[in-house]
Chain A
Amino acid sequence: MTAAVITPSRRGSGFWRAFARNKGAVLGLAFLLLIVLMAIFADVLFPTSPWDMTAAPFEPPFSEDALLGSDTLGRDIAAGIAHGARVSLLIGLTSTAVAVLIGVCLGAVSGFYGGWVDDAVMRFTELFQTIPNFVLAVVLVAIFTPSLTSIVLAIAIVSWPPLARLARGEFMSLRSREFVQAAVTTGQSNLTIIWRQILPNSLSPIIVSASLMVATAILLESSLSFLGLGDPNLMSWGYMVGAARTVIRQAWWMSFFPGIAILLTVLALNLVGEGLNDALNPKLARKGRA
């Protein structure tokens, strides 16, 4: 009944082969796995809270009780990075999930129904697109007082419009295809057609851009924390860079290591996103196989 172009098993192996062809993507994925493992085992690696003052203040890197140095109050930078990975990944993933949910729902409705529904939804989307992302996020977090939830929601709210436009485009082009028309003639409900016919076939570009969006979300969270708009009870990389800024001449390591962590994670996510694009984009895939 479904009109999937490729059967699942072949698609799986082909996907991995295509993905693995991009060396950068594999490297990115490996690094990302490392970060995820670090986040999961942060409590094992650094059993004390990252806020605990475990060393003398301003210890340089590679000193006895602080591998990557310690900060103004003697907190271990390495512990901060490990625990901060949790916050960064958590916020990156959940806010992207929320953004995908909002974006795809609105985009799907808009692209599938067209007409005035499309107009209304797109004008609504444009409303969000005209306001600069970061400014809107700052305002939202400031209004709802900084907390994990408010930050996730703020990032989701500023991130969904591109996804909505993407989903809309995909739905518009797919809804005139034969398999959709076939589904209409067999009397399937609109919801079934959207959910089971069009959505699975438009997932590839959405997955690719969502993976890149995780990277943007992590950057957004870091920028908010850098400005002091992070959750004051959670250690995050952006917070660490922000807190280090004022003593950068005394202690370069305080901002350097968290900064590197952000850089590498975002780079890894972008590489993985590119790999996904290579593997999932039918046009590129065909070229690759030829």
Chain B
Amino acid sequence: MSNRLRYIRQSLTAAALAAALATPALLSAPSVAVAQERGGTMNIIVQPEPPLLVLGLNQQGPTQTVAGKIYQGLLTYDFNLKPQPELAESWEVSPDGKVYTFKLVKNAKWHDGKPFTAADVVFSTSKMLMETHPRARAVFAKCEKIEALDDYTVRFTLKEPFGPFLQSFEVSSAPIMPKHIYDGSDYKANPANATPIGTGPFKFKEWVKGSYIHLVRNDEYWKAGKPYLDDIYFRVIPDAASRSVAVEQGTVQQTQFNDIETFDVPRLKQLPNVEMTTKGYEFFAPLSWIEINTRNKPLDDKRFRQAMMHAIDRKFIRDKIWFGLGRPATGPVNSVTRFYEPGVKKYDFDPKKAEALLEEAGYKKGSDGTRAKVKLLVMPYGETWTRLGEYIKQAMKRVGVDVTLETTDSAGWVNRVSNWDYDLTFNFVYQYGDPALGVSRTYVSDNIRKGVMFSNTMGYANPEVDRLFAQAAQTNKDEERQQLYSAAQKILVEDVPVAWLLEMEFPTFVDKRFKNAITTAIGVNESYDSVYMVKK
């Protein structure tokens, strides 16, 4: 490192130095010709405090980030969502797309010294996760049988081809749990839950509730020479302003997801000691939208919904409300998720076009200049969404639609939206790397389920869209899936069941001394076995 620094220092001005360090360092591949030294302690914010760390039993965001260092999945995914080896060193798919065979690494050990074998994989995917992990259950329920061919080979046989099967093996989707600890026990009441045992590069050491979680280096980790860090502390800091201060003062070396409020991001970006990246969330790929209850007048009219798309300036929302974080969304699939279709109908910011559409739909201006009245239930997720509500109100007023804002608390919001008691509201959902896992659920008509949140709460039903999504999930030929998803996206964008706003980005701030933090599509939930600290 010092050689490289000296070279840069000689050849570049101070300003260029800052720029040069800012861009590549955080994302640089492990191949950079720098000695990766042992040692160092990393302090990472965890917010809110997870209820427990056994990833098989709890998959909330903060749990994933901490337990992702303790447990591992068979695969992980690069930034383009291509599968990468983790506990599985190689895999094969049969031509008919129904049989998946994974070769496991042979030298992995559980933190208590027991060897990791195929039996653990079979137990996790066919027994434990089926009971405790809703997202895994939906995937592994499609298996006819899961069997261990030998100690280091596992074979999954599917009832019928399932396109996103290979996208379902990262650590939070299918964490491999130790059979010798959990088999035959009451999973949730197992006393070992207090001291999680995984195969990952870091071992659980201590948890002081309300303060920190301490993980230490696993000296017998199966990747030789790794990990580099001695330990990781996850610090619980419930107050947003204090989290920003902790970054400014350098007492924590990493924050992720919503830890830093959007309005603090421009300020923290200027800090000399940290670097910001928005990479590492490709697997989650959150997409935000105005959710439209298509049962209610005037929202049942497609032209009215299209007019909304034209009336709203999504660039303004990105720049002024999200302080530059995110990309204006073009449709139902986030552009970093697989099978994104760019060739859909474009809705430019054009109030005139919006007014023309409203005119055409028969919503004439009344004597007070109002064409229609709708209510907007503002999502109670903090100030940014409140600002967004105020913006939408004004933007819609400009085209003659009177929007009344309503406020509520989180429980009230979930209750009202899931029971269809709203006109407009905001929402954002994760896409989990594949349209069949995170996109179709919001648009297919058999997911119109009263009382269930994050389902098709808009009440949108289109048999053609249902057919395309169903067919695309049941094949594993990528070209065929792309065609089907492209067709579905074109129909959805024309119909506007929700008014897509932003492909959201989360800021990750990492101390510049720590390298290799964000290397895959699951970013901060990665094992961190290749993270190292540059000592000055």
Contacts and interface: CB of A to CB of B under 8 A. Distances in A.
B320 A73 contact: yes
B193 to A, nearest CB: 36
Contacts of A51: 390, 393-394
A137 to B, nearest CB: 16
Interface in B366-420: 378, 383, 386-387, 389-391, 393-394, 397, 404-409
B321 interface: yes
B407 A57 contact: no
A48 to B, nearest CB: 10
A233 interface: yes
- Which of B266, B393, B394, B407 has most chain A Cβ within 10 Å? B407
A72 B323 CA distance: 10
Contacts of B383: 228, 243, 246
A70 to B, nearest CB: 11
B405 A73 contact: no
Given A145-B408, A233-B404, A72 B320 contact: yes
A74 interface: yes
B317 to A, nearest CB: 10
Interface in A135-171: 142, 145-146
B247 to A, nearest CB: 14
A52 B397 CA distance: 9
Given A51-B394, A57-B320, A74-B320, A232 B389 contact: yes
Given A51-B394, A232-B378, A246-B263, A72 B408 contact: no
B4 interface: no
A145 B394 CA distance: 22
B406 A232 contact: yes
B240 to A, nearest CB: 9
B147 interface: no
Contacts of A52: 394
Contacts of B405: 232-233
Nearest to B267: A249
Interface string B170-186: 00000000000000000
- Which of A57, A142, A246 has most chain B Cβ within 10 Å? A246
B312 to A, nearest CB: 13
Contacts of A146: 407
Interface residues of A, number: 19
Contacts of B378: 232
Contacts, number: 50
Interface residues of B, number: 23
A73 B263 contact: no
A207 interface: no
Contacts of B393: 51, 233
B407 A73 contact: no
A232 to B, nearest CB: 4
B373 to A, nearest CB: 12
Given A72-B320, A74-B320, A145 B390 contact: no
B261 interface: yes
A247 interface: yes
Contacts of A232: 378, 386, 389-390, 405-407
Nearest to A229: B407
A246 B239 CA distance: 13
B394 A53 contact: yes
Contacts of B389: 232
A274 to B, nearest CB: 38
A79 to B, nearest CB: 13
A262 to B, nearest CB: 20
What DSSP secondary structure best describes chain A's contact surface?
Answer: loop
Nearest to B384: A246
A145 B320 contact: no
Nearest to B266: A250
Nearest to B408: A145
A82 B427 CA distance: 34
A190 B391 CA distance: 57
Interface string A243-266: 100110110000000000000000
Interface in B241-266: 261, 263-264, 266
- Which of B390, B406, B408 has most chain A Cβ within 10 Å? B390
Nearest to A56: B320
A109 B394 CA distance: 50
Contacts of A73: 320-321, 387, 390-391, 394
A146 B378 CA distance: 12
A228 B391 contact: no
A165 B100 CA distance: 80
A233 B407 CA distance: 10
A249 B397 CA distance: 31
A249 B409 CA distance: 28
Interface in B495-512: none
A146 B405 CA distance: 10
Contacts of A233: 393, 404-405
B414 to A, nearest CB: 16
A150 to B, nearest CB: 11
Contacts of B320: 57, 72-74
Contacts of B391: 53, 73
Contacts of B390: 51, 73, 232
A233 B405 CA distance: 6
A57 B383 CA distance: 17
A247 B386 CA distance: 14
Contacts of A249: 267
Contacts of B408: 145
A74 B319 CA distance: 12
B187 to A, nearest CB: 38
A228 B397 CA distance: 22
A73 B320 CA distance: 6
B267 A145 contact: no
B397 to A, nearest CB: 8
Contacts of A53: 391, 394
A73 B394 CA distance: 11
Contacts of A142: 409
A73 B317 CA distance: 9
Contacts of A228: 383, 386, 407
Contacts of B404: 233
Contacts of A74: 320
28 contacts: A51-B393, A52-B394, A53-B391, A53-B394, A57-B320, A72-B263, A72-B321, A72-B387, A73-B321, A73-B390, A73-B394, A142-B409, A146-B407, A228-B383, A228-B386, A228-B407, A232-B378, A232-B386, A232-B406, A232-B407, A233-B404, A243-B386, A243-B387, A246-B261, A246-B383, A247-B263, A249-B267, A250-B263
Given A73-B391, A145-B408, 4 more contacts: A52-B394, A145-B407, A243-B387, A249-B267
Identify the 10 closest CB pairs spanning chains A and B, nearest first.
A232-B405, A246-B263, A57-B320, A232-B407, A51-B394, A247-B263, A233-B405, A146-B407, A246-B383, A73-B391
